[in-house]
Structure 1
Amino acid sequence: MEEGIVGFTLLPVSAATSMVGMFVFLSLKRWWRFAAHRQVLGLRVPTPGAWTFLSGMCSAAIIGTTTLAYTLEGTSIVFMMLLMRGGVLVLAPIVDVLSRRHVRWPSWVALVLSFAAVLVASGKDARATMTWVAALDVGVYLLSYFIRLRAMSRLAKSQDKSLSIRYFVEEQMVATPFLVLVLGLVAVWGGAGPALDIREGFTGMFARGRLLEEMLVGLLSQGTGIFGGLILLDARENAFSVPVNRASSVLAGVVATLGLSLWLGLPGVGPREMLGAALVMVAMTVLAVPTVLAARRREAALKAALGP
């Protein structure tokens, strides 16, 4: 590519592809039956509840802000990644307390490490590298995650897997269609600025000559939404499931930035950002070790009970 694609221009194709990917995944898994259904013109139609509809709108905002975050000029991928991922890590135990869930000591240790990661990554020049668009993007992202985690804790984080799948299906059937609808309305009725970029995303999808790449962005984005969402719906507290969810994002962001630096000569990962990513990975380890040891103890106890 001789020049990049504006983030708002990238959204229409990527969002539409995410929507198709979501419908294909739910159909292949045959999970539509888990959703609530209503009779519409003699047909049983899957229908979201009030909380899952709200959560789906928040998920749509998360998809859009995540895509934009990695395309904004003046901020690095790793910097935005740490602000967004670290921010959600901070939200996790807060949501647990509000939901009256017990938070174990490893989760509190991971919270402190996450705070440290965000502070280290920000550094003294945070204001110089944080535009108002980037700040607004992060703010909408974190607010959406707060509402989404609260809804999950209230309805779906249970040992009953059918409840988790039902929530997942009802949320996903709202998220990407809502995002595509909003983008379409902005393209038709919006004025200048971002609205023009979004309109270009719809009208110039073939002229840009990067349709397959834009679709791939949407497909991979939906993949992170599927697997990440299922991790968040784990029955354990948010202070556990959220950091597990975030770990792969941190690694992916660092690796992607290094790859772009080596391959295309773009700015690489700075020492502050690398240290911040390292702190997040330490937080992941703190959370993972007790769970792994507990699983091994259960396995050993089972073997002992069964005998030689």
Structure 2
Amino acid sequence: MREGISGFTLLPVSTSASLVGMFVFLSLMRWWRHAGHREVLGFRVPVPGRWTLLSGLCSAAIIGTTTLAYTLPGASIVFMMLLMRGGVLVLAPVVDVISGRRVRWPSWVALGLSFGAVAVAAGSSVSPTLTLLAAADVGVYLAAYFFRLRAMSHLAKSGEREVSIRYFVEEQMVATPVLVGTLAVLALLGGEGMCGELRAGFTEALSRGHLFTEVSVGLLSQGTGIFGALILLDGRENAFCVPVNRASSVLAGVLATGLLSVTLGQPGAGALELVGAALVVAAMAVLAVPSVMAARRRAAAPPVAPIARP
């Protein structure tokens, strides 16, 4: 590429690829049958419930704001990732308390480390001309995650596989279709600025010359969305599931920044950003302690002899 493209121009192709990836995944897994169904014109079609509809709308906002966050000119990938990932880490125990779930001590320790990561990220240098745009993007992202985690806690985090799959299918069947439809409507409005860039994203997809890369962005984004959602739907508290979900993303951001620095001469990750990323990873390590200790206790426990029957 001789020059970059804006995040709004990238969204139409990437989200359309995510939409296709979602339908292919659910079809290959044969999970459509787990969704709620209704009769429409003589056909049984899958339909979301009230909570999964809300969660799907929030997921659509998360997909859009995540893509934009990584394409803001002058904004470090690691900086934006720390604000977004660290913010969700902070939200997790808050949602647990509201939902009446017990938060264990490792989760509170992880919360403290997450606060440190966000504080470190706030000390990084960011272009002041983009502060408002970056803040708005992160704000929408975190608000969407709050309502999404609240909906999951209310309906799906029961530990029952069928319940989790049903929630996952109904949420996914809402998220990307709503996002693609919203982008299409805005593109039809045309004009300058965001709407014009969205229209160019749809109409100039072939002429830009890097369609494969844009499609790959969407498919990989959908892949992280699939596995990330399945982790969040685990029956344990959000203060456990969210850090497990987030830490890998932070590591990916640091790695991506390093690769861009080596291969394309882009600015690398700064010292503060690396410290913030390390704090997020430390939070995940703390959360792993109870599971590791429990596994060791089970391994050390003597086998239980079978009870002889007369």
State the TM-score, normalizing by the size of structure 1.
0.97
Once the 2 structures are TM-superposed, how far is the Cα of residue 205 of structure 1 from its aligned partner?
0.2
Once the 2 structures are TM-superposed, how far is the Cα of residue 304 of structure 1 from its aligned partner?
1.9
Indicate yes or no: 2:166 matched with 1:185: no
Compared CA separation, residues 130 and 291, structure 1 to 2 (3 A) = farther
Query: Would the aligned equivalents of 1:74 and 1:129 in 2 still touch at CA under 8 Å?
Result: no
Indicate yes or no: 2:88 matched with 1:88: yes
Point out the more displaced range, 240-249 or 130-139.
Answer: 130-139
Structure 2: tracts of 5 or more residues without a match:
none
Once the 2 structures are TM-superposed, how far is the Cα of residue 121 of structure 1 from its aligned partner?
1.7
Once the 2 structures are TM-superposed, how far is the Cα of residue 126 of structure 1 from its aligned partner?
5.4
**Separation in 1 of the partners of 2:211 and 2:277?**
32
Once the 2 structures are TM-superposed, how far is the Cα of residue 298 of structure 1 from its aligned partner?
2.6
**Separation in 2 of the partners of 1:197 and 1:124?**
29
**Separation in 2 of the partners of 1:306 and 1:248?**
41
Indicate yes or no: 2:307 matched with 1:305: no
In the TM superposition, what are the counterparts of 1:34-49 in structure 2 within 5 Å?
Answer: 34-49=34-49
Q: Which residue of 1 aligns with 2:237?
A: 237
Point out the more displaced range, 130-139 or 213-222.
Answer: 130-139
In the TM superposition, what are the counterparts of 1:2-81 in structure 2 within 5 Å?
Answer: 2-81=2-81
**Separation in 1 of the partners of 2:79 and 2:275?**
11
Q: Aligned-residue CA RMSD in angstroms? A: 1.3
**Aligned pairs, number:** 306
Q: Which residue of 2 aligns with 1:271?
A: 271
- C-alpha distance after superposition, 1:215-243 (max 9, x if no partner): 00000000000000000000000000000
Compared CA separation, residues 98 and 63, structure 1 to 2 (3 A) = same
**Separation in 1 of the partners of 2:281 and 2:153?**
25
**Separation in 1 of the partners of 2:305 and 2:260?**
53
**Separation in 2 of the partners of 1:145 and 1:189?**
28
Compared CA separation, residues 255 and 129, structure 1 to 2 (3 A) = farther
Query: Would the aligned equivalents of 2:60 and 2:179 in 1 still touch at CA under 8 Å?
Result: yes
In the TM superposition, what are the counterparts of 1:104-253 in structure 2 within 5 Å?
Answer: 104-123=104-123, 125=125, 128=128, 130-253=130-253
Percent identical among aligned pairs is 70
Point out the more displaced range, 164-173 or 291-300.
Answer: 291-300
Query: Would the aligned equivalents of 1:74 and 1:131 in 2 still touch at CA under 8 Å?
Result: no
**Separation in 2 of the partners of 1:306 and 1:7?**
62
Compared CA separation, residues 98 and 175, structure 1 to 2 (3 A) = same
Compared CA separation, residues 196 and 288, structure 1 to 2 (3 A) = same
Match of 1:263, SS state, is helix
- C-alpha distance after superposition, 1:123-147 (max 9, x if no partner): 1745737521111100000000000
- C-alpha distance after superposition, 1:34-74 (max 9, x if no partner): 10000011111000001101110110000000000000012
Structure 1: tracts of 5 or more residues without a match:
none
**Separation in 1 of the partners of 2:84 and 2:216?**
22
- C-alpha distance after superposition, 1:90-111 (max 9, x if no partner): 0000000000000000000000
Query: Would the aligned equivalents of 1:75 and 1:129 in 2 still touch at CA under 8 Å?
Result: no
